Structures are given as C-alpha cells and as structure tokens.
Amino acid sequence: MADDRFAEARRRLIAEIEAEAADTEAWTGRGRFAPAVMNALARVPRHAFVAATDQNAAYVNRPLPIGHGQTISQPYIVAVMTDLLDIAPGDRVLEIGTGCGYQAAVLAELADRVFSVEVVPSLAAAARDRLAALGYRNVAIRVGDGYDGWPEEAPFDGILVTSAPPRLPPRLVEQLKPGGRMVVPVGLPGETQMLFRCVKTPDGEIAQEAKLPVAFVPMVPAGSASD
C-alpha cells in the first residue's frame, strides 16, 4: 500500500471485521471470512473512495455518505457480502449499484471480470475514473437500471446487489448461471430488510438462505434516481 498514513487504522479495521464475523456467526454461518476476502479488504484503499473531508473516518467500521442519498457501505457488510458470494478465480461477477466503486474494487481483487451497473450517471462516471486511476482494469461500469442487470454479458457466476429491492428481481435471476450465487438485501423501504444468499440450482430454481438483518437504501429503477 503506497499511502501508509492509514496503515494502523486499516489494521484495526481488519481486526474489527474479524471480531464482528465471529459475533455474527449464528446468523451468517461464517465465523471467519475467507483469507482472500480479508486480504482484498486490506488492499483496497477505502480512503480513495470517500470525500476528502471524510478520509479520517475512512477506516471506521461504518457507512459514509457519497452524495445523491447514497452511501459507501460499512466495511463489515462489504466483507460479509463478498464472502457469501464465494468468488473463485476466473469468475465473472455482476454488481448492481456501483456507488463510489469501493465494493467493485473489492470484487475486482477476487474475480476475473466485474460488471457494475449504476443508475446515477455522475456516480458511475466518478467511479469509472477512480477505479481506472487506481489501476483496476477488470471492472466495466455502465449507467442503467439495476433491475435489468447486464444481459449482454450474462450469465454470471455471481451477482451482488448493494441496494434493497422489495423482492428478488427476476431478470437478475435469469442472468445467474446454474450453480451461481446471488447476495442481495430484500425488503420494503422503512421495514426490516434481510440479506439473502441465493443459489441457482441446475433446474433453474433459486434456493434462498436468510443470512443477516440489514439496512440498505432502496433499489430504484431508472427514471426514479436524480443525478
């Protein structure tokens, strides 16, 4: 890591995520996250994805605002969602909700290719520039409706959704490979949401496991978001 002024804060954050993983094992079934996931969290410079005024809080285990009513997710949530996706070398992953690009960078450390869809054009443009400047060449970003996914690049080994739809989006289910995994928070605005790990069976059905109560911004269709 070129910028060592955050080294100690980053170390404390990784230790806190490890402790929280143990504390939430009864929910998630995962008392320890995969070493590859933790190494990815340690490599990605979270301070590069937040406003300059928020950099001192970049390695605190909480979400931070990024504008347009959106947030950069809590690092523990990024870790648990990434771990539940079970990314293998060579996997192609779809992310719904690019935001500032932080989760995409974590995925890019693990997957062969990451395709990310953002509904807010200015967020997509800024994330694209930021990821390119940081050297992430295996991430493609486009502006679009997350409910539609990215059918031209389907099917995907994994799909990660960073905002909450009221139910599983059927077009995303269609774009998942047999054996593929989807990690998605589901729930209505203002109500308790649940993080689900979904696996597509060989016959095209979806096996769902509830993993953790969460709070995400609602997933909005194109035309409902403001730039």
Tell me the one-letter amino acid at 175.
Answer: Q
The pLDDT score that the predictor gives to residue 57 is 92
- Is 224 catalytic? The answer is no
The CATH code of the domain that includes 181 is 3.40.50.150
Which residue do the tokens 């910028």 mark? 3
Q: Is residue 223 part of a domain?
A: no
State the average pLDDT over residues 69-98.
95
Q: Which of 73, 122, 163, 224 is catalytic?
A: 73
Share of the chain above pLDDT 90, in %: 84
Dihedral pair phi/psi, residue 90, rounded to 5°: 90, -10
| pLDDT at 1 exceeding the cut of 50 | no
Q: At what angle do helices 35-43 and 7-23 cross, to 10 degrees?
A: 150
Find, among 193, 135, 195, 134, the residue nearest to 160 by Cα. Answer: 195
**Which pTM was predicted?**
0.94
Pair 165, 96: CB distance under 8 Å = no
- Domain extent at residue 198: 4-214
Residue 24, SS3 per DSSP: coil
Q: Calculate mean pLDDT across residues 146-174.
A: 96
For residue 23, pLDDT over 50 is answered with yes
222 found inside a domain = no
Q: Does 221 fall in a domain?
A: no
d(CA 20, CA 54): 23
Q: How far apart are CA 118 and CA 101, in angstroms?
A: 10
Q: Judge whether residue 2 has pLDDT over 60.
A: no
pLDDT at site 4: 79
Residue 13 lies in a domain: yes
CA distance 202 to 143: 31
Query: Looking at the 3D structure of the chain, how many domains does it have?
Result: 1
pLDDT at position 224: 61
Does residue 220 lie in a domain region?
A: no
User: Does the pLDDT of residue 161 top 90, yes or no?
Assistant: yes
pLDDT for 69 equals 75
Residue 41 belongs to some domain of the structure: yes
For residue 190, what pLDDT is reported?
79
CA dihedral 72→136→109→54, nearest 10 degrees, is -30
Position 45 in a domain: yes
Residue-wise pLDDT tens digits, 92-144: 999 999 999 999 999 999 999 999 999 999 999 999 999 999 999 999 999 99
227 in a domain, yes or no? no
